[in-house]
Amino acid sequence: MTTTYPLRLAMVGGGPGAFIGAVHRTAALMDGAFTLVAGALSSDPAKCQERAAEWGIAPERAYDSWREMLAAEQALPEEMRAQVISIVTPNHLHHEVAIAALHAGFHVACDKPLTTTSAHAVAIADALESSGKLFLLTHNYTGAPMVREARALVAQGEEGPIGTLRKVYVEYLQGWLSEDLETTGQKQAAWRTDPKRNGPGGSLGDIGTHAHNLAEFISGQRITRLLGSRRSFVEGRAVDDDAMAMIEFEGGADGMLRCSQVCVGRENGLAIQLFGTKGGLEWRQEHPNDLTIYSATEGPLTRRTGNGYLSPLAQSSCRVPPGHPEGYLESFANLYREFADAIRSGDPLPTHLPSIEAGNTWT
């Protein structure tokens, strides 16, 4: 059957008050690549109906549970049924929903972290392999134009401005969990500090994964060895709220990874610096349209979004002319658009799109 635009998307999670579900919806719809047709948007059926009404999902396709949704959608005629399931629940549900969705014949877009244990990650990888479907792990920063530009510059090796990579310093610093917000009824803090729902890594699973992914994506190399420590600074907290590690890459570079949710006043300080034999790079997600290039002879130079001097992938990832800011939502939209293109064409995912490997499925 010909797969035409828009593709039909169904969402698990994203109920009233949820954070990332609305981001996924906006991003998936931004380029007209998807339409949202169904959802199991909350563990509370009434809240699911409330959100479905707000989002224009027909009441009969707002389901009481994700299991009911997969079964009901599977039973619909092919031209109606959802084609892609987007998973935007707390982490502990990712693997169960992903495996069931793949077995039921749906493509899957899942937010990070892939899941909470290596065994679950491997089980998703196995389900993916036998399904013949596509899997997108929404490590959204890989969709940012200047992150893609950084990757392209590093990939040039000795021919490019960076040379052979030596050092990678990556960090993600937040401050919103500096106090015991989880005891105040704040739901997002509650599940993120509960090992049963977040997984054993607190800040590591929540934001350290972004730093790890960014380092591997831009360097083009896997991290193969690390020595790290993690701590809970807030008394009584069951997961880490701060961690740091010395990291080594398969290609010989090394560096540092830091993540913290107790850096008071910091918002979303995801930043990376890489240095090679010829120069360096710096990207900060709070200023996503700039990429600084360091050189011994020319001083720091800034490349910016929207300009014709960028690499082809970075250029095609920009939506507006130079000087008009674009950022977080658009990076997600780039992933969704390219995911839709791959589904439609029947091709494998392009290698720059984060899939199951970005979830680190080794044991």
Ligand X SMILES: NC(=O)c1ccc[n+]([C@@H]2O[C@H](COP(=O)([O-])OP(=O)(O)OC[C@H]3O[C@@H](n4cnc5c(N)ncnc54)[C@H](O)[C@@H]3O)[C@@H](O)[C@H]2O)c1
Task: Give me the 205-244 binding string for ligand X, x by CB under 6 A, dash otherwise.
Answer: -x--------------------------------------
Dihedral in degrees, nearest 10, Cα atoms 203, 48, 336, 302 = -50
93 binds ligand X (CB under 6 A): yes
Find, among 263, 215, 265, the residue nearest to 243 by Cα: 263
Find, among 108, 107, 111, the residue nearest to 90 by Cα: 111
Distance CA 321, CA 104 (A): 42
Q: Which residues are CB-contacts of 326 (< 8 A; sequence separation ≥ 6)?
A: 145, 288, 289, 305, 318, 319, 320
111 binds ligand X (CB under 6 A): yes
Interface pick for ligand X out of 43, 118, 164, 232 (rule CB under 6 A): 43
Partners of residue 245 on adjacent β-strands: 228, 257
Distance CA 234, CA 18 (A): 24
From residue 9, alpha-carbon distances to 51, 95, 135, 284 in Å are 15, 19, 13, 31
Which residues inside 178-197 make contact with ligand X, applying CB under 6 A?
187-188, 191
Distance CA 112, CA 174 (A): 17
Task: Using the minimum distance from each CB to ligand X, give the nearer residue, 20 or 291.
Answer: 20
Interface pick for ligand X out of 91, 115, 131, 219 (rule CB under 6 A): 91
Interface pick for ligand X out of 3, 5, 19, 290 (rule CB under 6 A): 19
> Which range touches ligand X (CB under 6 A), out of 11-19, 239-247, 338-346, 347-355?
11-19
Q: Which residues are CB-contacts of 100 (< 8 A; sequence separation ≥ 6)?
A: 66, 67, 70
> Which range touches ligand X (CB under 6 A), out of 7-15, 55-63, 215-223, 233-241?
7-15
**At its nearest, how many Å lie between ligand X and the CB of residue 345?**
25
Contact 152, 293 (CB under 8 A): no
Size of the site for ligand X (CB under 6 A): 25
335 binds ligand X (CB under 6 A): no
26 binds ligand X (CB under 6 A): no
- Burial profile 135-161: b = 16 or more Cβ within 10 angstroms, e = fewer: bbbbbbbbbbbbbbbbbbbbeebeebb
Task: Using the minimum distance from each CB to ligand X, give the nearer residue, 214 or 310.
Answer: 214
Task: Order the strands of the 107-110 sheet from edge to edge.
Answer: 34-40, 7-12, 84-87, 107-110, 135-137
Distance CA 228, CA 204 (A): 11
Task: Give me the 244-273 binding string for ligand X, x by CB under 6 A, dash otherwise.
Answer: ------------------------------
42 binds ligand X (CB under 6 A): yes
Find, among 261, 262, 259, 232, the residue nearest to 247 by Cα: 259
Task: Using the minimum distance from each CB to ligand X, give the nearer residue, 40 or 162.
Answer: 40
Tokens linked to 232:
């809970």
289 binds ligand X (CB under 6 A): no
Task: Using the minimum distance from each CB to ligand X, give the nearer residue, 108 or 253.
Answer: 108
> Which range touches ligand X (CB under 6 A), out of 10-18, 100-108, 161-169, 291-299?
10-18
Interface pick for ligand X out of 138, 213, 285, 305 (rule CB under 6 A): 138
Amino acid at 341: D
Interface pick for ligand X out of 49, 83, 86, 140 (rule CB under 6 A): 140
Task: Using the minimum distance from each CB to ligand X, give the nearer residue, 156 or 188.
Answer: 188
Interface pick for ligand X out of 112, 133, 148, 230 (rule CB under 6 A): 112
40 binds ligand X (CB under 6 A): yes
Q: Which residues are CB-contacts of 162 (< 8 A; sequence separation ≥ 6)?
A: 153, 154, 156, 274, 275, 276, 277, 278, 279, 280, 281, 293
**At its nearest, how many Å lie between ligand X and the CB of residue 138?**
6
Tokens linked to 64:
């009481």
Task: Give me the 60-89 binding string for ligand X, x by CB under 6 A, dash otherwise.
Answer: ------x---------------------xx
Site for ligand X, rule CB under 6 A: 12-15, 18-21, 40, 42-43, 66, 88-91, 93, 111-112, 138, 140, 187-188, 191, 206
